Amino acid sequence: MTSADIGLIGLAVMGQNLVLNMDDHGYTVAVYNRTTARTVEFLDGPARGKRVMGTRTVDELVAALKPPRRIMLMVKAGGAVDAIIEQLIPLLDAGDIIIDGGNSYFEDSVRRTRRLGERGLRFIGTGISGGEEGARHGPSIMPGGDPAAWPHVKGILQAIAAKVADGTPCCDWVGPGGAGHYTKMVHNGIEYGDMQVIAEAYHLMRAGLGMSHPEMASTFRRWGDGLLDSYLVDITADILDHTDERGEPTLEAILDAAGQKGTGKWTVIDSLHLGYPMTLVAEAVYARVVSALHDQRIEAAGVLGPGSQPSKATRHGWGDDFVDAIHDALYASKIVSYAQGFMLLGAAGREHGWDLDYGRIAQLWREGCIIRAAFLDDITAAFTRRPGLPSLLLDGFFVDAVRRADPGWRRVVNAAVRAGIPVPAYSSALAFYDAYRSERLPANLVQAQRDYFGAHTYERLDRPRGEFFHTDWTGTGGGATSGSYQA
Ligand code: 2AM
Between CA 445 and CA 234 the distance in angstroms is 46
Would you list the DSSP string of 30-43? EEE-SSHHHHHHHH
Give the ligand 1 atom nearest the CA of 35: 3
Of 191, 200, 283, 367, the active-site residue reads 191
| Ligand 1 centroid, distance to 99 Cα (angstroms) | 16
Longest dimension (CA), the chain: 87
For ligand 1, mutation pick of 75, 81, 84, 88 (most atoms within 8 Å of CB): 75
Per-residue pLDDT of the chain in tens (487 residues, 90 and over written 9): 569 999 999 999 999 999 999 999 999 999 999 999 999 999 999 999 999 999 999 999 999 999 999 999 999 999 999 999 999 999 999 999 999 999 999 999 999 999 999 999 999 999 999 999 999 999 999 999 999 999 999 999 999 999 999 999 999 999 999 999 999 999 999 999 999 999 999 999 999 999 999 999 999 999 999 999 999 999 999 999 999 999 999 999 999 999 998 899 999 999 999 999 999 999 999 999 999 999 999 999 999 987 766 555 567 789 889 999 999 999 999 999 999 999 999 999 999 999 999 999 999 999 999 999 999 999 999 999 999 999 999 999 999 999 999 999 999 999 999 999 999 999 999 999 999 999 999 999 999 999 999 999 999 999 999 999 999 999 987 777 876 555 4
Kindly state if the Cβ of 80 falls inside 6 Å of ligand 1: yes
| Ligand 1 centroid, distance to 15 Cα (angstroms) | 11
Kindly state if the Cβ of 34 falls inside 6 Å of ligand 1: yes
Q: Is 191 a catalytic residue?
A: yes
For the sheet with 70-73, list strands across it.
Answer: 52-54, 29-32, 6-9, 70-73, 97-100, 122-129, 140-145, 175-176
For ligand 1, mutation pick of 34, 39, 86, 87 (most atoms within 8 Å of CB): 34
Indicate which residue's Cα is closest to atom 14 of ligand 1: 75
Between CA 102 and CA 127 the distance in angstroms is 7
Kindly state if the Cβ of 38 falls inside 6 Å of ligand 1: yes
Any idea what DSSP says for residue 69? P
Indicate which residue's Cα is closest to atom 18 of ligand 1: 80
Kindly state if the Cβ of 76 falls inside 6 Å of ligand 1: yes
Rounded to two decimals, what is the model's pTM?
Answer: 0.95
Kindly state if the Cβ of 33 falls inside 6 Å of ligand 1: yes
Count Cβ atoms within 10 A of the Cβ of residue 140 and give its class: 0-12 exposed, 13-18 middle, 19 or more buried: buried
Kindly state if the Cβ of 84 falls inside 6 Å of ligand 1: yes
| Ligand 1 centroid, distance to 32 Cα (angstroms) | 10
* CA-angle at 53, arms to 50 and 57, nearest 5°: 155
> Which secondary-structure segment (H or E) carries 99?
strand 97-100
Q: How many CB atoms sit inside 10 A of residue 438's CB?
A: 10
Kindly state if the Cβ of 83 falls inside 6 Å of ligand 1: yes
